[in-house]
Amino acid sequence: MMQKRAEKFYLILAVTAFGMNWIWEMAQMFAFEIKPEESRSQVFLFCTLSSVIDAAVTIGIYGLLSRFNLSNQILFYLSAALLGALCAAFFEWFAFRFELWRYNQAMPIVPLIGVGMLPFVQLTLLVPLAIWLARKFKGV
């Protein structure tokens, strides 16, 4: 019974995280360079794949933090935000290293770490928010 409840929660978390990240991915596209050879369908598929990865990251962060049994919910959500920020910075550094994407002049840059503000804020905000919403929806 407990296993089914956990599986249902993770499914709710996955759908919530995917949906929020997909909307964010599509909304921030104005700040990225689109290569002339890229079609709209390629951009759509890339954003969808990125959203699947973001959802997996959200699930991983929740699973990791759940192992620590943090009774202080503020600490739990702040930890989720910090881990989301670290993942976002890593993804952006990785993407630039392998030339997966580039920003255009519309993208604000986070000082000191040199990554785009929009993707950095994305996982910093959406990881804890997706967990909170999934808990509210599930009643956990």
> DSSP per residue over 38-60, as a string?
--HHHHHHHHHHHHHHHHHHHHH
**Element holding 139 (H helix, E strand):** none
The pTM score is: 0.93
Reported as a single tens digit per residue, the pLDDT across 10-65 is 999 999 999 999 999 999 999 999 888 888 899 899 999 999 999 999 999 999 99
Averaged pLDDT, 113-135? 97
Residue 103 dihedral angles phi and psi, to the nearest 5°: -90, 160
